[in-house]
Chain A
Amino acid sequence: MQREEMSLYKITVNSFKNNFRQYTMIIALIVIWTIFSFTTGKVFLTPRNLSNLFLQTVPVGILAVGMTLIIVTGNIDLSVGALAGFCGAIAAVLQVKYQFSTVSVIFAALGVGLLIGLWHGFWVAYQKVPAFIVTLSSMLALRGAILGVTDGMTIGPMQDSFKAIGQKYLPSFFSKTPHFNDSTLILALVCIALYLIFDWKNRNERIKFGFETLPLKAQILKMVLISIAIGAFFSVMIFYQGIAYCVLLLMAITLVFSFVAGNTVFGRRLYAIGGNADAARLSGINIGKNIMRLFVIYGCLTAVAGVVLTARLNAATTSAGTNMELDAIAAAVIGGTSLLGGEGTIIGSIIGALIMASLDNGMSLMNMNITYQYIIKGMILLFAVWLDIYNRRK
């Protein structure tokens, strides 16, 4: 018994060492939240504020998901803020000026995103122009294009069905009070159950094949902690209006892209290209084709972010999406994505985005001067990356 306790302790320590980045991010998030709960007179940790915080995270979160894969391949995309703004503007103009239906304007936005993605892919993958330059050029051009399609004005309001994407919550089945949402509760239970089933099944398969697995105690500890985390995340929303559609959307995108990154041939090739492009090429991987595909996918994903952005504001503004590409890059980097390529996880970037949004939200609640907000965000980015480099050196 004594020995098992020791080994459990040892496993925890080893796991901590090996996954230092992930743990420090989660700890950083908890620390930031704790500090804000004091400095804001506990307003920060209320379900209402946290639910808002999740909503605020969505557009940058969606962009950070795609940015992670772009950076994993050793590229960068500076255009996504402007592109999200542009796609949102296209949707708004079509709906407000020409009365297009919500479904058709969403497809129009996705189509625009796809075309711009093709454009980027063509220049980066086949003409070998550095992604930094290609997307910087798009950023400038798209800022101009936004002014062009909106005539420099704010375009709104949107139809209710469009607005719902950014502002509406999953309705309750029976509960009448906004402080308890039964459908979100059911969703939470389903998520926890699915997680437990998949993780357990995976473990059993690994045991069957004789691969390395965590000892039973550590496995149970891990399952309990992750279930609590999922539960805590959902309970925020259970006790305030329920889960918003766009938060649900971000969750779905995160799950799908995590799967793509970790379990598909395409994802594996992206990591190989970023880890060592020469080795990938000599293994018969068509680098151009994969990079092209990634930029096209990211174009569409950015359009989704643009739609959410417009829906949240209930209008398209000329400055929509400004600096969002930098927030997305910062989120990915804080989340452990290496700018050298080959390393990074989707879930890490989502936590990174949550950290960035928490800083914005908390400092605004404190009524902190915007001057200091920018300075603090900048310093935290620098510190996070330094911490990572410092730990790798050791």
Chain B
Amino acid sequence: MNCDTALSMKNITKAFPGVKALDGVDFSVKKGEIHALVGENGAGKSTLMKILSGVYPAGSFDGEIILGETAASFYNIKDSEAAGIAIIYQELALVSQLTVCENITLGNETCGRFGVIDRNAAFAKAASALKRVGLNVSPAEKVVNLGVGEQQLVEIAKALSKHARILILDEPTASLTETEANNLAVILKELRNEGITCIYISHRLREVFELADTITVLRDGRTVCTVDKNDIDEEKLIARMVGRELKQIYPRKKREAGDIIFEVRNWSVFDGARGKNSVSDVSFTLRRGEILGFSGLVGAGRSELFMNIIKAAGETVSGELLLNGAPIDIKSVGDAVKNKIMLATEDRKRFGLVLSMDINKNISLASLDKISKRSVIDKNAEIQNSTRFAAELKIKTPSVEQLAGNLSGGNQQKVVIAKALMIKPQILILDEPTRGIDVGAKLEIYNIINELVDAGVGVIIVSSDLTEIIGMSDKVAVMHEGALKAVLDISEATQENIMRHATNAA
């Protein structure tokens, strides 16, 4: 194998307001190898690849990119493409109503004078690219008629037709079937033999070991190590991925677990967009006085599970719900709210808040009947009520009549929680309750969670932050690709143990 370096990124540092996503990362890839990039959620993999592909332009980060022997600066995706780097995202970026041929040549059309497309030349180009990835479909076929695995190969063909020398694949197998994944592996190995370099991001460690030559581990925005795959095993790899520094003090409280208040049995969800189940046969129980943490990697189906339980997304295939031992039937989010089950979602701006309304109106949105008589809102009672919540949750604002859009992330999150609290929930599901929030506000939110549990509310925390899960939960449920792999007692829930289940390692 050729040992020349195809690419090296040196001392890359990238900061976002409030967070350092990458802190002096070194990443070097040899020519013609498959190089796996692994790490927990938020370790910095995607940020690093966005820098490499020019999404974050030169100048917005520190450090240098050296391609072959020369330093490179990319100001946009076109620059990186011109240098032979192609990135293929998890969500495919094909235009589904265009043909395979049109997609492959998109942005790179073979045209004569006056911008008229030369169809025959385009066809020939597409056909030869398809042949390289071993895809046996007509270039005239519309992309919408292809399966996800075939679409992925079209993406790769598109990259090859642009003379890509370095392919970046971000979770390429997340939505593929086993056969499709195996097929992809074969193609990637063939491309390696042709001298194409491949950077492969995956949560599936078994795949990584099967396919990769070299593995780089990122953690907390730093490079942990770059090793030959023969020098490491799954167990050791997991140990290097986890072990994030504990930056937060968790106000854990010791409680006695009480009766079962909420039970989910055999829950399965069909995801129409992906054409397969996003959650399969998940069962768990929640006891009074206990915090149940849900862990798993991106795409494990945690949000899909809870969004579907309250009937906000997906199609329920099967499942039963029991609240305080009695079966309940939830047909809409309204029913969930009536049964005092509330979900505070992961994406505050998209699902949580009406940014054009004031804090006051956001807080009362789910419980308007409580502050109204015969459908007329008692505005004074409303403001009083919201002011009380704002004080209890320490929402920092001069008045609750300020627009929710003007608040900081932490305070917006508190508004979402206040809205949930106002319905007096029995079951509160918090999806990523502290994402993008500063340390002080996090602690305040943890204290609020503790008070709720003390008051008898059943709390489920869905979080990608392992330290948060371990720091706050009494039991940890771990999901992997839609299935519940384990429910661990906190005494056995180490980072390694959780990660082992989350990656479905042997």
Q: Do A and B come from one complex?
A: yes
Contact with B along A181-221 (1 / 0, CB 8 A): 00000000000000000000000011001011000000000
Selected from B333, B345, B384, the residue in CB contact (under 8 A) with A284 is B333
A201 to chain B, nearest CB (A): 11
Selected from B355, B377, B379, B399, the residue in CB contact (under 8 A) with A276 is B355
Q: Which residues of A lie under 8 Å from residue B419 when comparing CB positions? A: 283
Inter-subunit contact B353/A276 (CB<8 Å): yes
Identify which of A265, A281, A282, A342 gathers the most chain B CB atoms within 10 Å of its CB. A282
Q: Is B343 an interface residue (CB 8 A)?
A: yes
Q: Is A71 an interface residue (CB 8 A)?
A: no
Cα A276 to Cα B356 with chains together (Å): 9
Inter-subunit contact B361/A268 (CB<8 Å): yes
Contact with B along A282-312 (1 / 0, CB 8 A): 1111100000000000000000000000000
Cα A283 to Cα B368 with chains together (Å): 10
- Please give 16 more A-B residue pairs, beta carbons under 8 A apart, in addition to A278-B351, A279-B351: A206-B380, A209-B380, A209-B384, A211-B401, A212-B399, A263-B377, A264-B377, A265-B377, A268-B368, A276-B350, A276-B355, A279-B350, A279-B352, A282-B351, A282-B352, A285-B365
Inter-subunit contact B353/A284 (CB<8 Å): no
Tell me if A's interface is mostly helix, strand, loop or mixed: helix
Inter-subunit contact A342/B351 (CB<8 Å): no
Q: Is A120 an interface residue (CB 8 A)?
A: no
Inter-subunit contact B312/A281 (CB<8 Å): yes
User: Given A263-B377, A279-B365, A284 and B356 touching (CB < 8 A)?
Assistant: no
Number of interface residues of B (CB under 8 A): 35
Identify which of B351, B365, B383 gathers the most chain A CB atoms within 10 Å of its CB. B365
Tell me if B's interface is mostly helix, strand, loop or mixed: helix
Cα A279 to Cα B415 with chains together (Å): 13
Cα A342 to Cα B351 with chains together (Å): 15
Cα A285 to Cα B364 with chains together (Å): 12
In the A-B complex, list the 5 residue pairs whose CB atoms are closest, starting with the nearest: A284-B337, A275-B354, A283-B366, A284-B334, A283-B365
A292 to chain B, nearest CB (A): 15
B283 to chain A, nearest CB (A): 24
Inter-subunit contact B355/A275 (CB<8 Å): yes
B156 to chain A, nearest CB (A): 34
Within 8 A of B (CB), among A2-31: none
Cα A212 to Cα B386 with chains together (Å): 14
Inter-subunit contact B343/A342 (CB<8 Å): no
Inter-subunit contact A212/B351 (CB<8 Å): no
Cα A272 to Cα B377 with chains together (Å): 15
Number of interface residues of A (CB under 8 A): 26
B400 to chain A, nearest CB (A): 9
Inter-subunit contact A272/B372 (CB<8 Å): no
Q: Is A143 an interface residue (CB 8 A)?
A: no
Q: Is B332 an interface residue (CB 8 A)?
A: yes
Inter-subunit contact B377/A212 (CB<8 Å): no
Inter-subunit contact B351/A265 (CB<8 Å): no
Q: Is A163 an interface residue (CB 8 A)?
A: no
Q: In the complex, what residue of chain A is closest to B368 when comparing beta carbons?
A: A265
Cα A286 to Cα B337 with chains together (Å): 11
Identify which of B354, B366, B419 gathers the most chain A CB atoms within 10 Å of its CB. B354
Q: Which residues of B lie under 8 Å from residue A209 when comparing CB positions? A: 380, 383-384
Q: Which residues of A lie under 8 Å from residue B379 when comparing CB positions? A: 263
Q: Is B117 an interface residue (CB 8 A)?
A: no
User: Given A279-B351, A279-B354, A285-B334, A264 and B375 touching (CB < 8 A)?
Assistant: yes
Identify which of B338, B353, B376, B384 gathers the most chain A CB atoms within 10 Å of its CB. B376
Cα A205 to Cα B379 with chains together (Å): 11
Inter-subunit contact A272/B354 (CB<8 Å): yes
Q: Is B369 an interface residue (CB 8 A)?
A: yes
A351 to chain B, nearest CB (A): 21
Inter-subunit contact A343/B354 (CB<8 Å): no
User: Given A280-B365, A285-B334, A286-B334, A275 and B383 touching (CB < 8 A)?
Assistant: no
A335 to chain B, nearest CB (A): 17
Interface residues of B (CB under 8 A from A): 310, 312, 332-334, 336-338, 343, 345, 350-357, 361, 365-366, 368-369, 372, 375-377, 379-380, 383-384, 387, 399, 401, 419
Inter-subunit contact A265/B372 (CB<8 Å): yes
Q: Is A33 an interface residue (CB 8 A)?
A: no
Cα A168 to Cα B90 with chains together (Å): 69
Contact with B along A356-387 (1 / 0, CB 8 A): 00000000000000000000000000000000
Identify which of A205, A265, A284 gathers the most chain B CB atoms within 10 Å of its CB. A284
Cα A275 to Cα B345 with chains together (Å): 17
13 A-B pairs (CB sep. < 8 Å)? A211-B387, A265-B375, A268-B377, A271-B361, A275-B355, A275-B357, A279-B350, A279-B354, A279-B365, A282-B333, A283-B366, A284-B333, A284-B366
Q: Is A107 an interface residue (CB 8 A)?
A: no
Inter-subunit contact A282/B377 (CB<8 Å): no
Inter-subunit contact A269/B368 (CB<8 Å): yes
Contact with B along A38-52 (1 / 0, CB 8 A): 000000000000000
Cα A278 to Cα B419 with chains together (Å): 15
Cα A342 to Cα B356 with chains together (Å): 7
Cα A280 to Cα B366 with chains together (Å): 8
Cα A73 to Cα B109 with chains together (Å): 42
A350 to chain B, nearest CB (A): 21
Q: Is A132 an interface residue (CB 8 A)?
A: no
Cα A283 to Cα B415 with chains together (Å): 13
Q: Which residues of B lie under 8 Å from residue A211 when comparing CB positions? A: 380, 383, 387, 399, 401
Cα A279 to Cα B354 with chains together (Å): 6
Q: Which residues of A lie under 8 Å from residue B376 when comparing CB positions? A: 263-265
Q: Is A266 an interface residue (CB 8 A)?
A: yes
Inter-subunit contact B401/A212 (CB<8 Å): yes
Q: Which residues of A lie under 8 Å from residue B310 when comparing CB positions? A: 282
A283 to chain B, nearest CB (A): 4
Q: Which residues of B lie under 8 Å from residue A272 when comparing CB positions? A: 354, 357, 361, 365
Cα A342 to Cα B332 with chains together (Å): 23
Q: Which residues of B lie under 8 Å from residue A342 when comparing CB positions? A: 354, 356-357
A161 to chain B, nearest CB (A): 34
Identify which of A209, A272, A283 gathers the most chain B CB atoms within 10 Å of its CB. A283
Cα A285 to Cα B312 with chains together (Å): 11
Cα A269 to Cα B419 with chains together (Å): 15
Cα A265 to Cα B354 with chains together (Å): 16
Q: In the complex, what residue of chain B is closest to A277 when comparing beta carbons?
A: B354
